[in-house]
Amino acid sequence: MSEFVCDPKASPYIYDLIAVSNHYGGMGGGHYTAYAKNKMDGKWYYFDDSSVSSATEDQIVTKAAYVLFYQRREEDAPSKAPPSAALGASQESADDHMDTN
């Protein structure tokens, strides 16, 4: 995104894909599913109604992708650091866990 920023002295703008919403069906109706990356363990998960399962990065690229969600990477965060380290978290809180029930 850096090439679209007006300030030439601005830091690089790097975004990571964190979720994908999928739509199956037509204009009048259909079914939605999603892939999302867990910020605590850095793994991808597939959500389909009441079920959640593990997913891999190659599975999230589909023709059904409807909305892509990106998060701007922090300047001081290493590019390959675990998500909790990149966020500067030293311990997990109850709000940081994904509820899969």
Q: Is 87 part of any domain?
A: no
Q: Is 40 part of any domain?
A: yes
pLDDT tens digit sequence for 37-94? 999 999 999 999 999 999 999 999 999 999 999 998 877 655 554 444 344 433 444 4
Q: Is 96 part of any domain?
A: no
State in Å, rounded, how far the first CA of the chain is from the last one. Answer: 36
Tally of structural domains, the chain:
1
Number of C-alpha atoms within 13 angstroms, CB side, residue 70?
8
Tell me, what's the pLDDT at 1?
Answer: 65
Q: Which backbone phi and psi does 13 adopt, to 5 degrees?
A: -105, 105
Range of the domain at 46: 30-74
Q: Is 58 part of any domain?
A: yes
Residue 15 has pLDDT above 80, yes or no: yes
Give CA 97 to chain center in angstroms: 15
Q: Is 36 part of any domain?
A: yes
